Amino acid sequence: MSSIPALTAPRGDPLPPPAHVAIIMDGNGRWAQARGLPRIAGHRAGARAVRRTIEAALAHGVRWLTLYAFSSENWRRPQDEVSDLTALLRHYLKSEIAELAENGVRLRMIGEAARFAEDIQASLRDAERVTAGNARLNLTIALSYGGRAEIIAAARRIAEAAARGEIDPARLDEAGFASQLFTAGMPDPDLIIRTSGERRLSNFLLWQAAYAELVFLNVLWPDFSADHFAEALTDYASRERRFGARPS
């Protein structure tokens, strides 16, 4: 009797570690709810998980770490949760930057910075400036970030430049388009992790995720640990990336 081929990805040599790991940090609200706590308690615990994750990325020699902290759509949440989240961001920026700088972390922000209060925008600018000379880990925080808004903004800038006669639309290519995104100059993510069991991108890095490997973990973000990070890297290493080419 002929056997049915297994529907698993063919396994070759393990992949080298991902250069760029991006994480959709989801499940803070459910974590709090399960404990009878207000949602902000989940977000605070989530901020502690961010710390652990940065340490894990440093320990594994990951060069690029991008964290989805607040989406363009998250502004639709009730006003009290939005103000709790912005207060937490304000606190985080004040309390963590010095240590990040000491650990060789370079901080960048992607998203619509202008939607935040002026003091938060100033803290973000300071953090980017103070850490600009670091190169051990490139940490990017996505704040008021939405992939579609990012793509539209890039398209608008390019159309305006074309209307002024500064660029020839026929010569626009992928690299030219990507240079107008928030992520200009950054490598695409190799691995995208989402916690909380949801299996969707929720408008995260839509352009950049074209060939990312996706790992969905059944852990709520505040419980995310170095072990979960290692588990995702192990899963990633077992994948075969083809980029559309013939299987090897």
Smallest gap, in angstroms, from Cβ of residue 17 to ligand IPE? 24
Q: Coil, helix or strand for 239?
A: coil
- Residue 74: contacted member of Mg ion, ligand IPE, none (CB under 5 to 8 Å, by partner type): ligand IPE
CA angle 244, 246, 248 (to 5 degrees): 120
Stretch that binds Mg ion, among 3-11, 22-30, 77-85, 185-193 (CB under 5 A): 22-30
Does residue number 121 form part of the binding site for ligand IPE (CB under 6 A)? Answer: no
Near ligand IPE by CB under 6 A: residue from 20, 28, 140, 150: 28
Near ligand IPE by CB under 6 A: residue from 15, 74, 162, 226: 74
Please identify which of the residues 26, 28, 138, 203 carries the catalytic annotation: 26
Task: Confirm whether 138 is a catalytic residue.
Answer: no
Q: Which is nearer to Mg ion, 26 or 84 (CB)?
A: 26
Cβ count within 10 A of residue 228: 21
Closest residue to bound Mg ion by CB: 26
CA angle 53, 65, 117 (to 5 degrees): 90
Smallest gap, in angstroms, from Cβ of residue 26 to Mg ion? 4
Using CA atoms, how far residue 30 sits from 39, 86, 97, 195, in Å, is 8, 19, 28, 12
Strand arrangement, sheet containing 105-110: 105-110, 137-145, 64-71, 20-24, 191-194, 213-216
Does residue number 224 form part of the binding site for Mg ion (CB under 5 A)? Answer: no
Measured distance CA(66)–CA(208) in Å, rounded: 12
Element (H, E) at 147: helix 147-163
Q: Which is nearer to ligand IPE, 162 or 201 (CB)?
A: 201
Measured distance CA(130)–CA(175) in Å, rounded: 29
Continuous H helices in 61-117: 79-102
Please identify which of the residues 13, 28, 74, 173 carries the catalytic annotation: 74
Near Mg ion by CB under 5 A: residue from 26, 84, 150, 190: 26
Task: Confirm whether 28 is a catalytic residue.
Answer: no
Near ligand IPE by CB under 6 A: residue from 20, 21, 29, 232: 29
Binding site for ligand IPE (CB under 6 A): 24-30, 68-71, 74, 85, 196, 198, 200, 202, 221
Binding site for Mg ion (CB under 5 A): 26
Residues annotated as part of the active site: 26, 74
